[in-house]
Amino acid sequence: MAQHNETVLSVSDLRTEFHGGRGHIRAVDGVSFDVGRGRIVGIVGESGSGKSMTALSIMGLVPKPAGKVTAQSIMLDGTELTSLGADGLRRVRGRDMAMVFQEPMTSLNPVRKVWEQVGEPLAIHKGMNSRQIRARVLEMFELVGIPEPKARLDAYPHELSGGLRQRAMIAMGLICEPKLLIADEPTTALDVTTQAQILRLMLELRDRVGTSIIMITHDLGIIAEMCDEVNVMYAGQIVEQGNVFDLFDRPSHPYTRGLLASIPKTTEKRTDGRMPSIPGMVPNLERLPPGCRFNPRCGDVMAICHEAEPPLGEVGGGHLARCWLHSRKADGPAPAAGAVL
């Protein structure tokens, strides 16, 4: 159990539900994880896995009438977020935890100057005046590596390239020196070269400033490069959790194994001319299969997988997987693995 001041974020049993027109959707269903100080934690999954929704839920940005967020506990550096009202959470947002979004093109207000927007958290949370804000924004621009920072202050968003805009967004997120930065697919909308630059920037910032980062992505490559710990999400649940080395060396959940297997490797030669992929589709959250949510697509599926949802079981040394292969049922022997249908 990590000590209080070494854990920046501790999420316990986070659930986010939507009551849609026709059904009841649990977009985030019992998610728990920790983020240590100065660590980069990745959340990886396909679209619809609930990874973005997890971030929005922690930040309190889930659209109100539609979605309901509950959790046993969300502890941000000693503050229990669940006991804060909407206003209290708002004061934390942008100051102690910040978020960077996927689409730099549209995430900035087109009719306002860049410095005003990047500096806005300072106006909101620290009450600085324009002169102070401009100076601080200039510092941040230099920190995130924006060339000719002085000239860019008065620019409008459409005058910057995608990469610069994303750097500006990162500057915006870090300007109040939050303990936690949540990055939701920050490089997906950028070209490969810019992607590499932004990722490198984030690593530098972590080293220099000590901010903890939650990196949300669907790209295992980014996970491998950046993250210290990883959470794999599927259909609203965490199905595997552990440090990055364990995950890549000993992937324990069939879904994780499928993801890793489907990365095309130049070192392997395939003789049958086909690309491996996980068969089937992500389940409709309104109509989940009984038992383990992955069972329609799992190659190691067993009888018990259709009957009951597996809990997160220990694979070894803090590495967890939500799979009957790694859990024992309370009243029976360990199930045999490797059934073929």
CB of 3 to another protein, least distance (A): 28
- How far apart CA 162 and CA 315 sit, in angstroms, is 41
Task: Label residues 7-24 b or e (16+ Cβ within 10 Å = b).
Answer: bbbbbeebbbbbeeeeee
CB of 310 to another protein, least distance (A): 18
In the structure encoding, which two tokens stand for residue 221, read together? 């490559």
Chosen residue from 179, 206, 297, 319 binding another protein by CB under 8 A: 297
Window 107-126: contact mask with another protein (x via CB under 8 A): xxxxxx----x--xx--xx-
Count of other CB atoms within 10 angstroms of residue 225: 16
Output 166 or 229, the one with its CB closest to another protein: 166
- How far apart CA 292 and CA 18 sit, in angstroms, is 21
Number of residues that bind another protein (CB under 8 A): 46
Of 12-20, 103-111, 207-215, 227-235: span binding another protein (CB under 8 A): 103-111
Chosen residue from 279, 290, 311, 316 binding another protein by CB under 8 A: 279
CB of 111 to another protein, least distance (A): 5
Output 190 or 228, the one with its CB closest to another protein: 190
- How far apart CA 120 and CA 116 sit, in angstroms, is 6
Window 258-277: contact mask with another protein (x via CB under 8 A): x--x--------------x-
Contact between 20 and another protein per CB under 8 A: no
Residues of span 54-83 touching another protein by CB under 8 A: 59, 61
DSSP characters over 259-270: HHHTS--SS---
Q: Which residue has the tokens 């100080």?
A: 37
Contact between 326 and another protein per CB under 8 A: no
Distances (CA, A) of 241 to 33, 173, 230, 261: 8, 26, 6, 18
In the structure encoding, which two tokens stand for residue 51, read together? 């990874």
Count of other CB atoms within 10 angstroms of residue 220: 19
The residue ranges that bind another protein (CB under 8 A) are 59, 61, 90-95, 98-99, 101, 103, 106-112, 117, 120-121, 124-125, 156, 158-159, 169, 172, 257-258, 261, 276, 278-281, 284, 296-301, 340-341
